[in-house]
Amino acid sequence: MFVFDKQTSKIFRSSIADAGAERDFYKLSIEGRSINLEPAFQEIDSRLAAVFSDLATSNGLRDVADGALRDVPMLFAVQLTRTKLRRTSPAAISEQLTERGEPLGISPVTISDEQARLLHLTQLTDVTRVAEALRKKDLVVLTAPVSGPSFVISDNPVVLQNTLPYGRLGLAAPGIEIYFPISPRRCLAYLCPSHRETLVKSFDPRHPLRELSDPYSEQLMCALHAGIPATMSSSGVHFLNELQVAQSARFVYAATDEFEWAQKILDRHAELRNVRTLVNVGEMGAVPPTPYPMPPGDWVIFEVGHRHFALSVFDCTFDATQGELTFRTADIAKLGEILSEEAFDSVEFRGSRGDGGGMRDVVIDRLERDAAPFFRVRYRDEHLRALMDAITRSPTAE
């Protein structure tokens, strides 16, 4: 196999046995005692090789033994957490917090290498929770086109993507897509159930959602419902390969030494040469930036479980101190779909001027203002609403 070093732009050949290895990566010292956790992963690695070998050569998920499929979420979870990036992320985040907090007089936050190792160990002991989150999603097998590019992998092999303009890169985030290439021609993916629901609606002639007519949508529909591998386009494979470059710490691995495409990415984005965390600490009180541009205008985003709704609004007012969001809308069809839900995990207002904010655990109701229909979002908990009202009315608040 071939390795591309993002920091030096060098390409070199490596044996599979040596690639990705780092001496004493799982070694730590606790109360003067040296502990090496590497042997604990040997059985998992052996199982990973066997299961992924079956998945890489099978005709579909239905041809894979039930026991192997049951193990996939745990194997996915281990590969998601046992990476260099997970080790360096706490210290990198603490540096960002220190940079944001120093102008406000907040004491610096520092994390030593030994503390980072212990934090990483804590994450590794929590892989069961990660596996359970994956089991709630749809597993599909993706295939690279015969005459097109092949998949690459990196030192952070499980990559996350969310194509929603307001999407987040979290395991429980609506719209999340989680990819793990297991061979040059095969890639496993866990998709948020909202993707399946969107596809079902798009193929329903009675639903107002526009029909998705591209061939990949049809193949993905078959992959979700019949376990048949879906063939990606060349551009789709290139996109997943770009994620491997962007979300890796340093090294990218491939079956060939053709990395010109990766070099072009680094030429455009030099910051990707040394990635220590995928978390960016934003300005306090600011609305997080969207990964993709939102359509023009003001928008309110509702989330409940894996479902999500984006509603175009006007005459919108968000009062964080009072815990209240009011708005009007002309999208009656979408509003009716939203009102079918009794409560929401979160709501977020994104204004056209970059303003906005969010609330969690909320309900929506209707009210009248100057004979015009308005809709109001408030906290679901009545005691919390009473507390916010009391704070708003207090002399100190005034």
Q: What is the pLDDT of residues 78-100, one digit of tens each?
A: 999 989 999 999 999 999 888 88
The mean pLDDT of the chain is 89
pLDDT value of position 175 = 95
Q: Return the residue matching tokens 């948020």.
A: 192
Check whether 396 has a pLDDT greater than 60.
no
213 within a domain of the structure (yes/no): yes
Whether residues 19 and 148 fall in one domain: yes
pLDDT value of position 201 = 82
pLDDT value of position 209 = 64
- Residue range of the domain that includes 351: 298-393
Whether residues 108 and 248 fall in one domain: yes
Whether residues 256 and 308 fall in one domain: no
Last residue of a domain, one of 256, 273, 290: 273
pLDDT value of position 20 = 78
Whether residues 235 and 325 fall in one domain: no
Whether residues 232 and 329 fall in one domain: no
332 vs 204, 313, 338, 345, 349, CA distance in Å?
20, 11, 10, 22, 18
Whether residues 155 and 16 fall in one domain: yes
256 within a domain of the structure (yes/no): yes
Q: Return the residue matching tokens 């994620």.
A: 243
Give the orientation angle of helix 66-81 with respect to helix 113-124, to 10 degrees.
160
Whether residues 114 and 193 fall in one domain: yes
284 within a domain of the structure (yes/no): no
290 within a domain of the structure (yes/no): no
The pTM (predicted TM-score) of the whole model is 0.90
Question: Mean pLDDT throughout 287-312?
Answer: 89
Q: How confident is the model at residue 387 (pLDDT cuts 50, 70, 90)?
A: confident
Residue 286 CB partners (closer than 8 Å, separation 6+): none
Whether residues 112 and 245 fall in one domain: yes
pLDDT value of position 329 = 95
286 within a domain of the structure (yes/no): no
Whether residues 225 and 306 fall in one domain: no
Q: How confident is the model at residue 393 (pLDDT cuts 50, 70, 90)?
A: low
Check whether 114 has a pLDDT greater than 80.
yes
Whether residues 167 and 94 fall in one domain: yes
pLDDT value of position 134 = 97
C-alpha–C-alpha distance, residues 299 and 294, integer Å: 9
pLDDT value of position 386 = 83
Q: How many residues does this entry show for the chain? A: 398
Number of domains within the chain: 2
pLDDT value of position 272 = 97
Check whether 362 has a pLDDT greater than 90.
yes
293 within a domain of the structure (yes/no): no
By three-state DSSP, how is residue 363 classified?
A: strand
Whether residues 213 and 302 fall in one domain: no
Whether residues 346 and 236 fall in one domain: no
Strand 298-304, strand 344-350: pairing: antiparallel
361 within a domain of the structure (yes/no): yes
Last residue of a domain, one of 273, 290, 306: 273
289 within a domain of the structure (yes/no): no
